[in-house]
Amino acid sequence: MTPVRTLPHRAMLALAACAVLAFAGHAQTQSDKLRVTILQLNDVYQTLPMDNGKSGGLARVATLRKKIMAESPNTLFLLAGDTISPSVASSVFKGEQMIAAWNSMGLDYSVLGNHEFDFGPDELLKRMKESKFVWLGSNVIDRRTNKPFGGMPPFAVRSFGGVKIGIFGLLTTDTATSSKPGPDVRFVNPVLAAKDIVKKLRKEGAQIIIAITHLAMSEDKELAQRVPQIDVIIGGHEHELLQSHAGRTPIFKWGQDARTLGRIDLNISTATRKVESIDWAGIPVTNTLADDPAVAAVAAEYEKKLDAALGQPVGQTAVELDARSITSRSRETNLGNLVADAFRQTLGADVALLNGGSIRANTMLAPGPITKRDTIAILPFGNPVVKIEVSGAKLRAALENGVSRIVEEEESGRFPQVSGLSFSFDARKPAGSRVTEVTINGQPLDEKKNYSLALTPYLANGGDGYSMFTGARLLVDAESAQIDSAILANAIAAAGTVSPKVEGRSKRLD
């Protein structure tokens, strides 16, 4: 099997461009060989192109899929979770627009992602019933029936050229606290679930096994090492281009919002019914591709409804706003400062803190008008912003948590965007002792002093590792609070024109 290694983002893009060329004219000529092509996306929240129309767009992906299927008819189109939420459109349509697009594209299978539960289990069940493709979540169990949630099949078996391929799905157990699955849904340890499912797939005659997962890369690697019968892991959850290898199993993740379509060719011996080698490429989805008319029509229908509801401007920006996930989750951004300032000023707090992962637009917003739609795209979860009282010691602990994974993951949703404070950290030091200096409104942090802090209930209740905030005294509760996107919209409207800057609120010393 061809070894696969993890590569930096820019290196991956360069490699993808070369790898795509390698597929041109590739044809199967030996009768004892079978090629099965997997087309993979993960973490797709938008139907339309991103980055001012330069990249992404599901209508473009549909065009690519048809082209590839004409050359490689034994093709499976897979989604590795997270599509129903979050986005501006989903705040209105509850993910209905995404299901309509996937149905039009001919998606075959999707694993449940954690954000599939953002609107609760009942709304997810509606979306599952609307789906023409098959949802998988072998470790997502309905407590009332002790069977897979929503009547999902525990696995699927497909046959190509006499070779049976087993497919199953796994979702991170963190979903229990990071989303809203409700009390009747439980999540089985992925490794334990996989071992059981693999045995059942073998009994069904499956000779090749594909796991579609929505797990952290560390969990995917553990899965690959402990369940070596898995031939390939089609993964999601991280929002970067990541390829890795653990044990005998390659792991693929293709970023976010369909900027890159993953193509993985399984070269199978029809004599042994085993994978002999794997070829793979990341195909850039760009504005050089034509839109598939049917998918474009579906997207346009929902866009028209959305513009009517949310297209009115609330103000404007004089500078480009950095709403990219990779920056929001790893360093101070001008947009993070704008949002944090709005939280702090609206709540009248000493400081404000938001996790970078809550900023979801994942694009650069050009100078010009900012609409209500833009503010919801930036903060699509509809979280209230509360105010609590915490000690300086707990604020320091919170900052330590915020930078605790900066080296291991390079980007982490817990990274803190802040207002009213500045801090320095050294990522060469062990996690928990990286913060070297903290000032509050220009004065050194007093660990014994109490400060008021504006944040979302997700963080106040310990989300993203911020357990130091649990049990803190509430100064403004959720019932009295304003919604995050509304706070941002009101702050922009009050200013008329905004021009936030990166000011050195968080300084990395290494």
**Contact criterion met (CB below 8 Å) for 508 and 416:** no
With b meaning 16 or more CB within 10 Å and e meaning fewer, what string describes 176-186?
bebbbbeeebe
Please report, for residues 135, 185, 193, 194, the alpha-carbon distance to residue 154 in angstroms, rounded to integers and kept in the order given: 10, 15, 10, 11
Q: Which helix (H) or strand (E) holds 374?
A: helix 372-378
Q: Is 44 helix (H, G, I), strand (E, B) or coil?
A: coil
Give the mean pLDDT of 468-486.
93
Please report, for residues 20, 255, 266, 276, 346, the alpha-carbon distance to residue 279 in angstroms, rounded to integers and kept in the order given: 11, 19, 7, 10, 53
Q: Give the CA radius of gyration of the chain.
A: 23
Q: Is 235 helix (H, G, I), strand (E, B) or coil?
A: strand
- pLDDT: which is higher, 191 or 413: 191
Superfamily of domain 9-300: Metallo-dependent phosphatases (3.60.21.10)
Separation CA 136–CA 487 (nearest Å): 38
pLDDT tens-digit map of 161-185: 999 999 999 999 999 988 999 999 9
For residue 178, what pLDDT is reported? 85
Please give the mean pLDDT across all residues of the chain: 92
Neighbouring C-beta atoms of residue 139, cutoff 10 Å:
28
For residue 177, what pLDDT is reported? 86
Closest among 290, 232, 271 to 49, alpha carbons compared: 290
For residue 412, what pLDDT is reported? 78
For residue 309, what pLDDT is reported? 85
Give the mean pLDDT of 362-382.
93
Separation CA 238–CA 219 (nearest Å): 12
- Give phi and psi for 275, each to the nearest 5: -75, 120
For residue 129, what pLDDT is reported? 98
Is the pLDDT assigned to residue 285 strictly greater than 70?
yes
**Long-range contacts of the stretch 8-11 (C-beta < 8 A, 24+):** 9/240, 9/241, 9/326
For residue 213, what pLDDT is reported? 98
Give span(s): CATH 3.90.780.10, the chain. 311-508
For residue 486, what pLDDT is reported? 93
Least confident residue range of 55-64, 459-468, 478-487:
478-487
For residue 160, what pLDDT is reported? 97
End-to-end, the C-alpha distance of the chain in Å comes to 38
User: pLDDT confidence of 133, banded at 50, 70, 90?
Assistant: very high
> DSSP string spanning 139-193?
TEEETTTTEEGGG--S-EEEEETTEEEEEEEEE-TTHHHHS---TTEEE--HHHH
User: pLDDT confidence of 410, banded at 50, 70, 90?
Assistant: low
Give span(s): CATH 3.60.21.10, the chain. 9-300
**Contact criterion met (CB below 8 Å) for 498 and 492:** yes
Separation CA 103–CA 47 (nearest Å): 12
Is the pLDDT assigned to residue 466 strictly greater than 60?
yes
pLDDT tens-digit map of 25-59: 343 445 689 999 999 999 999 999 988 899 999 99
Name residue 276's amino acid: E
pLDDT tens-digit map of 184-213: 999 999 999 999 999 999 999 999 999 999
Whether a cis peptide bond, with omega within 30° of 0, leads into 86 is yes
User: pLDDT confidence of 504, banded at 50, 70, 90?
Assistant: very high
Name residue 123's amino acid: E
Q: Would you state the structure tokens that stand for residue 433, as one six-digit string?
A: 């002792």
Is the pLDDT assigned to residue 411 strictly greater than 70?
no
> DSSP string spanning 91-151?
HHHTTHHHHHHHHHHT--EEEPPGGGGTT-HHHHHHHHHH-SSEEE-TTEEETTTTEEGGG
Separation CA 118–CA 103 (nearest Å): 21
Separation CA 197–CA 202 (nearest Å): 9
Q: CATH for 311-508, among 3.40.50.720, 3.90.780.10, 2.40.40.20, 3.20.20.70?
A: 3.90.780.10
Name residue 131's amino acid: S
Is the pLDDT assigned to residue 60 strictly greater than 50?
yes
Spatial strand order of the sheet with 351-355 comes to: 416-419, 351-355, 450-455, 386-391, 473-476
Angle made by CA atoms 364, 370, 374, in degrees to the nearest 5: 65
Q: Where are the beta strands (DSSP E) in 405-445?
A: 416-419, 421-425, 435-440, 443-444
Least confident residue range of 155-169, 294-308, 395-409, 461-475:
395-409
For residue 52, what pLDDT is reported? 84
